[in-house]
Structure 1
Amino acid sequence: MTEKDFGSKIKKLREEKNMSQEELAIQLNISQSKLSKIENGRLKANMVLILGVCNCFCVEVTEFISQFV
């Protein structure tokens, strides 16, 4: 499991909801630039951010991380 895997999953969820990076970044209380780096695997997604993503998209944390285990 790499940073890029988590970032790709976040991007996929965001795009499925037709949400812009800016919209998701606002909900996660981070900058759009930081979200872009996370989605591209250049920055690690910490657990707080992953929990926020799961909350935004009504996805169970176990479901989100299960494909990486």
Structure 2
Amino acid sequence: MLPAVGHSRPGRASSKSDQCPFCHRKRKQIQRAMLTAAKLVEPALDEFYATLSSEQKARFNTLQQVASP
């Protein structure tokens, strides 16, 4: 089957979710919810991070690198 032509990004086949307005709105809603959640926990995480020693901060920072794809 040939990939759909239209709004797809170069090098990426279009999927049905790319063409579905409902799916696009849902994806945007999820992104907004994730951003809101991140902003909600950021102050508490900053307070926690401030209590860590230099060694603990170094270990914490490596956790972030390991978790990223």
Say whether the fold is shared (TM-score over 0.5): no
Asked which structure has the greater RCO (Cα within 8 Å, sep 6+), the reply is 1
